[in-house]
Chain A
Amino acid sequence: MPEKKVTAKPKKKQQPFAWVSMLFFVSAFQIISALPVIFGSEEINREILFTFGGFLALEWGYFICARFLAEQRATELEIIAFMLSGIGLVTVASVKPEYAFKQFIAICIGLTGFIALLGIMRNVEVISLLRPVVAVGAVGLLGLNLVLARTINGALNWIEIGSFSIQPSELVKVAFIFVGAASLEKLQSTRSLTKYIIFSLGCIGALFLMRDFGTALIFFATFMVIAFLRSGDIKTIGLLSAVAVVGAAMIIYFRPHVASRFETYRHVWEYANEGGFQQTRVLIYASSGGLFGLGIGEGRLKNVFASTTDLIFGIICEEWGMIVAFCVVLCFAFVAVYALRLARNARSTVYTIAAVASAAMLLVQLALNVFGVTDLLPLTGVTLPFISRGGTSMICSWALFAFIKSADIKTYPKLEKQMDDA
């Protein structure tokens, strides 16, 4: 493994400005895709023009600072994050122009959170110190959510503060991984794992009470990954999943209305105007777009309920074409492979667990979203990371990328130098 690091370094040094050409390419793609939205109607949409200009400035500003001030040598993750955020921003601006600025602000907050989290993750001691606070905060937030909850679309997972509605479960996702990533000393202790299991049960139980089954499933899958990484105990994990299956079966048995939410699964065409409305429309309009799409703003899926949140994958297929849509999806697979590489060389188990669990969480959420709207899995109403409209979802996506990036020693040049010197 160390050899690989050695071979990777000179390769990077041969092309010191590869990131600039990459950034040019991404910006060109973003500008071209934004043009029809800005100049689509007879009058130039000034608000969107400024929003989008702000986005480009943020993007270039970040990379220049990161490269020259923070001495970042690997910025692949940020390129992907900006690329995806840009696709989401343009799509949101084209369907709901009034939300474009909010989405831009969400990207700004997401990026800020990303940088802040990278700072926190720098030091294992800081993580250990913060962990109990975060755990208590997360459970408290979910509890507060249950008390204050507003039912939106059948799920109780929103809190409204003034004109902002936030989805605490998205923030708790970040906390979930933060709490779950344990250092080597804690790995062997059963007590530490038990505490984590109790914490997880609390989170997942709260999500069940909120009837946010999609997010509960994401938490459960992530929990399994973290539990496996920490204990390597397949028996315990098998037992836990058996308990979960029995629990789910009991819920369906005693609460038939929960099961009825999934009755259209694999039968969407029979309920094309009822329970299968969204899925059938995604299939219809996604295949209408072909490989190259009908053009941004030319689609019709945008008129369907939740088009810019849950169904945005369908809009990208219809308007941008299946090639772009599948590239988006493959970006996440690339990020997961990238995370795995970093996790193998990480300087502490904390980072291995954080990177692997984040990548797993992203993939599970992506699968629930993309396969849910296309009826390969039941529709659970989770968002597409970075792309779906929504602030908390955006913040969470950036934070998960921060966990992955923190596993890379190159993120902390001074630390790297210290370690090299040592």
Chain B
Amino acid sequence: MNTVTKRAYVLLGIIIAFMVGIGILAGSFFVNGDIWATSRYNGHLYSAGQITNAGKILDRNGVVLAQSVDGKRVYNRSRSIRISTLHAVGDTYGYIAYGAHSLCRDKLTGYSFVNGIYDLIKTGEGSDVKLTIDAELCKTAYNALNGKKGAVGVYNYKTGEIICMVSSMSYDPENKPDDIETNEKYEAVYVNRLLNGVFTPGSVFKTVTAACAIENIPDINSRTFNCTGAYKTPQGGEVICNNTHGKIDFQTALTKSCNSAFAQLGIELGNKKLTETAEKMGFGKSFNVSGVKTSPSRIDLKEAVEIDTGWAAIGQYTTLVNPLNFMMIAGCIASGGSTPTPYFVQEALTEITGNLSTNSLLNESTANTLKTMMRNNVINNYGDSRFPGMEFGGKTGTAQISGEKSHAWFFGFSCAEDFPYAIVVVSENSGGGSEIAVPIASKVMKELKNSL
């Protein structure tokens, strides 16, 4: 009797194992419930693949970008705003993987662990989501891109708020084009190019080479370079320059974007140091922008021989950069080396969700030196009249793409204390940075300045 009674305690083992399982089940509902409840297979929320009931999505000024009316999801009345804010707002079908519609599903549907989606079913309304973007500014930026593929991003480098986020091409979510899958025009249309695009940088990369030179060559400011229209490397290679700049100093080399000078610097600095500086400036790193993991900028000089290093130093070779990364570099240069991670969904809990983590992409002294140099670029080359009253600094890029027109780049920042904004513009296969990208940046920054 006694032995069997003792053996009966095997049941206690089963009970404990069972309770552990119950604990795991409850825990997984607690952790994953929001993702499960807001799945697109949830018939309470979706009908024929369309979200039916959910809160509004608003821009920073309260302009309605998307809302549910009579069980249908409708977007802003203006077609241009629908198109230019598409990648920020997202769509209800989930084609745009990282728009507010998918990122804020739990909030839009009013899901909570305690009440599930009860509130939404009883009231037909979820909670509203406010974005940090300005719809009108997005519209201006999208129109300024003028039908070319590319991206424009503007953010407040002190707070991290993204005020303009545009990716081209885009489309009208209320009137999706039939040829979207086949027309070459719509290549990668669902990708938000600001966050998840990577492009050959061209001369914007010279700021990376410059930062590396400032930190590693003590007499860099007294150096002179002799540009004869090309730079002949010690081992017999040649990097061609866009002009014959003659005898110039470091600052002028950046202002004139002299390939000879920067190829020479890059080879002198070497692969290891260039890579180190680039990695410090965010290469190889993904940033979490309101829950979207950005595509990292890429640099790989492991196999680069001397001539490759020369090309890499001026932003050619295999290097690819992410526009948001360069927007953040501009912000860091303007604000002494560090900046909060940008975000575009306003949340009361921003601090808790860790969106306000700061990124130190540059040393303070390097940042300040670059700030002066890039400010001089605008004064002496692009012209202050493009950015009136903004104390603007910046750098253009013209990335050569074999067999096609160049990518036009510009990234820069305002040094004005009361106007802490940084911008990045990339326009694919459209020409030179000064001719194409600077006017776009000028238009957007002027409108932003006027709207404040």
Q: Could you tell me the distance between the alpha carbons of A283 and B33 in the complex, rounded to whole angstroms?
A: 8
Q: Contacts A289-B116, A291-B115, A298-B121 known; A322 to B29 CB distance under 8 Å?
A: yes
A300–B111 alpha-carbon span in the complex (Å): 16
Assign chain B's interface to a size class. Answer: 35 or more
Whether A292 sits at the interface, judged by CB under 8 Å, is yes
- Interface 0/1 of B108-121, CB less than 8 Å to A: 00011111111001
The reply on B107 being an interface residue by CB < 8 A is no
CB of B26 within 8 A of CB of A326, answer yes
A290 touches B118 (CB 8 A): yes
Residues of A within 8 A of B (CB): 184, 187, 225, 228-230, 232, 272-273, 280-281, 283-294, 298, 300, 303, 322, 326, 329-330, 333, 336-337, 339-340, 343-344, 346, 349, 352-353, 356, 359-360, 363-364, 366-367, 370-371, 374, 376
Do residues B41 and A333 form an inter-chain contact, with CB atoms below 8 A?
A: no
Residues of A with C-beta under 8 A to B43? 300, 303
Asked whether any CB of chain A lies closer than 8 Å to the CB of B274, the reply is: no
CB distance from A219 to the nearest CB of B (A): 15
Across the two chains, which residue of chain B brings its CB closest to A232?
B7
Bound Cα distance from A283 to B39, whole angstroms: 10
Q: List B contacts of A272 (CB < 8 A).
A: 39, 41
Q: Which of B11-19, B181-189, B205-213, B342-350 contacts A (4 or more CB under 8 A)?
A: B11-19
Contact A376 B14 (CB under 8 A): no
- For chain B, residues 1 to 46, give those with C-beta under 8 angstroms from any C-beta of chain A: 1, 3-5, 7-12, 14-15, 18-19, 21-22, 24-26, 28-29, 32-34, 36-37, 39, 41-44
For A349, what are the chain B residues with a Cβ–Cβ distance below 8 Å? 1, 4
Check B116 against A363 for contact (C-beta < 8 Å). no
Q: Which of B10, B26, B42, B116 contacts A228 (CB 8 A)?
A: B10
A232 B3 Cβ-Cβ under 8 A = yes
Q: Is the CB of B8 within 8 A of A356?
A: yes
Q: Chain B residues near A281 (CB, 8 Å)? A: 41
Given A229-B10, A326-B26: A290 and B15 within 8 A (CB)?
Answer: no
Tell whether A229 pairs with B36 under 8 Å between CB atoms, given A287-B116, A300-B44, A333-B19: no
What residues of B have a CB within 8 angstroms of the CB of A363 in the complex?
Answer: 14-15, 18
Pairs A-B, 3 closest by C-beta atoms: A290-B116, A287-B33, A287-B37
B427 to chain A, nearest CB (A): 38
Q: A337 CA to B9 CA in the complex, in Å?
A: 10
| Chain A neighbourhood of B22, CB < 8 A | 326, 329-330, 333, 370
Partner of A225, one of B10, B25, B118: B10
- Chain A neighbourhood of B117, CB < 8 A: 288, 290, 294
Return chain B residues, CB-CB under 8 Å to A326. 22, 26
Chain B residues, Cβ within 8 Å of A187: 4
Given A228-B7, A294-B116, A353-B4: A288 and B41 within 8 A (CB)? no
In the complex with contacts A287-B29, A371-B25, A336-B1 CB distance below 8 A: no
Residues of B with C-beta under 8 A to A230: 4
Chain B residues with CB under 8 A of A286: 29, 36
Bound: A336/B112 CA distance, A: 33
B7–A337 touching, CB < 8 Å: no
- The complex places the Cα of A298 from the Cα of B34 at a distance, in Å, of 20
Is A291 in contact with B18, judged by CB distance below 8 angstroms? no
Given contacts A288-B116, A290-B115, 19 further A-B contacts (CB under 8 A): A184-B4, A225-B10, A228-B7, A232-B3, A280-B39, A280-B41, A287-B29, A287-B34, A289-B118, A290-B116, A292-B118, A300-B42, A336-B14, A339-B11, A340-B9, A344-B5, A356-B11, A360-B11, A360-B14
CB-based contact B41/A359 at 8 Å: no
Partner of A288, one of B15, B21, B28, B44: B44
CB-defined interface of B155-196 with A at 8 Å, one 1/0 digit per residue?
A: 000000000000000000000000000000000000000000
11 intermolecular pairs with C-beta atoms under 8 Å apart: A184-B1, A281-B41, A284-B39, A285-B42, A291-B116, A292-B116, A294-B116, A333-B19, A359-B14, A367-B18, A371-B25
Q: Are B25 and A374 in contact (CB under 8 A)?
A: yes
Report the minimum CB–CB distance from A329 to chain B (whole Å). Answer: 6
Pair A370/B25 contact, Cβ less than 8 Å: yes
CB contacts (< 8 Å) of B29 on chain A: these are 286-287, 322
The answer on a CB contact under 8 Å between A371 and B21 is yes
Q: In the complex, A106 Cα to B25 Cα: how many Å?
A: 30
